[in-house]
Amino acid sequence: MFNLRHILGSTWAIETQIALLPFYQLNDRDIILLDTGFASSDRQALTETLKAHDFHVKGILCSHAHMDHAGNIRHLCGIYGCRVAAHLIEAAIAATPDSFRRHYGIYNSDDQGGVEECFTTTDIIMPGQQQLDFCGASFGILHLPGHSGGHIGIVTPDRVAYLGDVLMGFPQLETSKMPTTQFLSRDLESKRSLYSLRAQAYIVAHKAVFTDIHELIGANLHCLETKIRQVLEALRGTPTRGEWLLTFCENQHIHVRSDRSFAIMEYGFNSIVTYLEETGQVRSRRVNGNRRYKRCLK
């Protein structure tokens, strides 16, 4: 069973091994859960925790459809019959295993990933929507794309801002080998936008609570900028993307030991390559069927 952590007012969080799952308490029994953790490692303890406290999940707000955030939505809907709200993009991604696999591209044909993460969204959050009235409470919606296409933050009625994965905590920044960012230019914009956010408290999914996030925003931006520089420094001559990634891993002494780990590494690397092309620092052209990359002259 997981511990509960009081944040502010009626806003609490369930402490899993690697994340905080916030929830807003409507009354002694009914709650609105913000994300649901992994299917594999969190399901049993999460279910036991909800049962032990006699909580009834009336609704689920999903920050984005990654497996560590959406893994138990379908399971909990089966128990509680709850409503589910997600951004239009994330709702579409999570509609079927095929769409999940196709969008994230981190599963092979033998992998069942995406099956547990799929869910049916009852309340669609539209692009640009600033507020959601959901299960009797009003939540602020922060559009923070980059980590995923429809990633959102959620502000509870207590003015507690749940930021999902737009920021990493300080321990994660120290050990990060490659940020799991899908659209890097948008991710940078989202991080910078948080400088103007005013809330009573800020919850970072993995795994911290802050009353001031300015230092954390700067550290996250510095981490990304460092990775961008390191990837660019690994570009020598005119390599293919795979050769370029191998050089980066060798330079950073990164040893990838599984297909899944390599896919996640490649996922973040590809977003940096796209950013470098978008900003005119790198160009590519196809040579004998292979796309090769080269630094642009300043």
Q: Which two tokens stand for residue 34?
A: 């913000």
Q: What confidence score (pLDDT) does residue 105 get?
A: 57
**Which tens digit of pLDDT belongs to each residue from 222-279?**
999 999 999 999 999 999 999 999 999 999 999 888 877 888 889 899 999 999 999 9
Which of 102, 119, 127 lies closest to 60, judged by CA? Answer: 119
* Residue 259, pLDDT score: 79
Round to whole Å and give the CA distance between 239 and 244: 6
Token digits of residue 203:
């919850």
Outline where 166-256 has alpha helix (H): 170-175, 184-193, 214-233, 241-251
Give the model's pLDDT for residue 250: 95
CB contact at 8 A, 166 and 144: yes
Give the separation between CA 39 and CA 97, rounded to whole angstroms: 14
pLDDT at 242: 94
Question: What DSSP character marks residue 283?
Answer: E
- Answer yes or no: are the C-beta atoms of 161 and 146 closer than 8 Å: no
What are the beta bridge partners of residue 282? 295
Structure tokens at 291: 């796309």
Per-residue exposure over 238-275, b if at least 16 CB sit within 10 Å of its own CB, e if not: ebebebbbebbbeeeeeebeeeeeebbbbbbbbbbbeb
pLDDT tier at 213, thresholds 50, 70, 90: very high
> What's the CA gap between 17 and 47, in Å, rounded?
15
Backbone phi, psi, residue 254, to 5°: -100, 125
Q: How far apart are CA 164 and CA 142, in angstroms?
A: 10
CA angle 280, 283, 284 (to 5 degrees): 155
pLDDT grade for 75, boundaries at 50, 70 and 90: very high
Mean of pLDDT values over 96-117:
67
pLDDT over 80 (residue 64): yes
* pLDDT on residue 160: 98
Tell me: pLDDT of 54 over 80: yes
Which residues, including other chains, have CB under 8 Å from residue 284's CB and lie 6 or more apart? Answer: 277, 291, 292, 293, 294
Q: Which two tokens stand for residue 192?
A: 């910078």
On the question of pLDDT at 33 being above 90, the answer is: yes
Q: Is the pLDDT of residue 99 over 90?
A: no
Q: Share the mean pLDDT of the chain.
A: 93
Report how far residue 196's alpha carbon sits from residue 194's, in angstroms, rounded to the nearest whole number: 5
- Helix axis angle, 241-251 to 214-233, nearest 10°: 120
Domains of the chain: 3-222 (3.60.15.10), 234-295 (no CATH)
Nearest-CA neighbor of 168 among 183, 157, 179?
Answer: 179
Bridge pairing between strands 201-204 and 208-210: antiparallel
What is the structure's pLDDT at 256? 81
pLDDT surpasses 90 at 296: yes
